[in-house]
Amino acid sequence: MAPQALGAVVRRFGHFDAAEDAVQEALIAAATTWPKEGRPDKPLAWLITVASRRLTDLLRSEQARQRREEAVARELPPGAWLAPAADEGGDEDDTLVLLFMCCHPSLSPASQIALTLRAVGGLNTAEIARAFLVPEATMTRRITRAKQAIKDSGIPFRLPASTERDERLRAVLHVLYLIFNEGYASTAGASLLRADLTAEAIRLARLVRRLLPDDVEVAGLLALMLLTDARRATRTGPVGELIPMAEQDRSQWNAELIAEGIDLITETLSRRTPGPYQLQAAIAALHDEAETFEATDWPQIVALYEALLQLGDHPIVALNHAAAVGMAQGPEAGLALVDQLANDERLAGDYRLHSLRAHLKEMAGDRVGARDSYVAAADRAPNLVHARYLREQASKFIAS
């Protein structure tokens, strides 16, 4: 609800940075008030009203301090001082408008993504910094500058015209991709999954597809999310422990999401203009269609990853390609690629590289090497669930 509340407040007042602070205060108020007094019938309207009042108080205080009350009052929409909520919490959803506003071309691509993850995705600054592999202080400065740029630009709160929309779409899709990934495999913390983020990413992807029904990459991203999210319920055990795909109960995968995703990607690929999200969705479909892990069409997955690598230099795609090669051609072939990737500074300290090396060494019968690599991966894993799983894998091998 936070992004929807923020969108409504920004639409009413136009003060992006101050509106975000006001919504945060409203969320704090809800956390303290609702457990005592009960959840309101219209929680979104409640948040918008409280945030509007907080922002009204803030603006009034600022006006008095700067002695510009009349000038500021003229800039606000009629009736904004009263902060009534006649239309708050209705059917109108400002989240999509907020999403495109954060992806304005006046911002750098990195700032677009960071600001949208903060304002629309609900991620905190530390989570965004981890997603970008930069220090938290660097990300704080980046988001602050982006907010100031939005404020200085005077961007109107509306969906962009079709000519502008295409410029922003690539950043919008990447933002939704990152939000989904953070929900599906949290970068840190004590839980592997954040269902609120995956659900929000899928909801926003559906909104963008409704706006652009003929865009193949929008469809590809939505298909990728559906096909991946279909496996969510089986990725963790009774106490939240990680369950790898090879051990998941495929009968518990969400058949409805799989069917929707496969229909979507099949229709999209038939247009013969494959992009990165479509190719990733095709890989996800191959995983979902396999009756068992052993029956997975690994050679086809290798081919799809190779097509992805031709579209751009992405270290995680290269790592996934190495994993698929290890499954299709044997662990030695996969390890050869992993050794090459270890020279890439973007991956050298990433736990995923060490985890893949451990798995391939285990497949190759190198117990000592597997144990050492599992320990190295666990030491680097920011998420406690991943770290615990990796240490359990290491403990299978007797030290020699």
DSSP state string for 184-197: HS-SSBS-S--HHH
- Which tokens belong to 391? 């240490």
Q: Where residue 46 falls among pLDDT bands split at 50, 70, 90?
A: confident
Least confident piece of the model among 45-59, 136-150, 289-303: 45-59
CA-nearest of 13, 93, 92 to 54 is: 13
Instruction: Please determine, for residue 85, whether its predicted confidence score (pLDDT) is greater than 70.
Output: no
Least confident piece of the model among 81-85, 101-105, 364-368, 387-391: 81-85
Q: Radius of gyration of the chain from Cα atoms?
A: 23
Give the model confidence (pLDDT) of 265-274 as tens digits: 999 999 989 9
Please tell me the predicted confidence (pLDDT) of residue 381.
94
**Residues 113 and 175: beta-carbon distance below 8 Å:** yes
Please tell me the predicted confidence (pLDDT) of residue 111.
84
- Please compute, for residue 43, the number of CA atoms within 13 A of its CA located in the half-sphere on the CB side: 13
Please tell me the predicted confidence (pLDDT) of residue 3.
72
Among 9-13, 70-74, 142-146, 314-318, which range has the highest average pLDDT?
314-318
Please tell me the predicted confidence (pLDDT) of residue 76.
43
How far is the C-alpha of 114 from the C-alpha of 124, rounded, in Å? 10
Give the model confidence (pLDDT) of 282-292 as tens digits: 999 999 999 99
Q: Cβ atoms within 10 A of the Cβ of 251, count? A: 7
Instruction: Please determine, for residue 8, whether its predicted confidence score (pLDDT) is greater than 50.
Output: yes
Q: Where residue 194 falls among pLDDT bands split at 50, 70, 90?
A: confident
Q: Over the range 184-217, which residues count as b (16 or more CB within 10 Å of their CB) and which as e?
A: bbbbeeeebbbeebbebbbebbeebbeebeebbb
Which tops the pLDDT comparison, 400 or 368?
Answer: 368
DSSP state string for 286-351: HHHH-SSSTT--HHHHHHHHHHHHHH---HHHHHHHHHHHHHHH-HHHHHHHHHHHTT-TTTTT-H
Per CATH, is 297-400 categorized as 1.25.40.10?
yes
Whole-structure pTM over 0.85, yes or no? no
- Which tokens belong to 140? 């704080």
Instruction: Please determine, for residue 159, whether its predicted confidence score (pLDDT) is greater than 70.
Output: yes
Which tops the pLDDT comparison, 133 or 347?
Answer: 347
Q: Which amino acid is at 55?
A: L
Q: Where residue 349 falls among pLDDT bands split at 50, 70, 90?
A: confident
Please tell me the predicted confidence (pLDDT) of residue 68.
42
Q: How far is CA 117 from the centre of its chain?
A: 7
Please tell me the predicted confidence (pLDDT) of residue 1.
67
Residue reference for tokens 């680097």: 380
Beta bridge partners of 236: 242
Domain boundaries, the chain: 1-89, 94-184, 214-294, 297-400
Instruction: Please determine, for residue 81, whether its predicted confidence score (pLDDT) is greater than 50.
Output: no
Please tell me the predicted confidence (pLDDT) of residue 89.
44
- Please compute, for residue 235, the number of CA atoms within 13 A of its CA located in the half-sphere on the CB side: 18
CA dihedral for 386, 389, 395, 399, sign (positive or negative)? negative
Between the two ends of the chain, the Cα-to-Cα distance in Å is 54
- Which tokens belong to 59? 């603006």
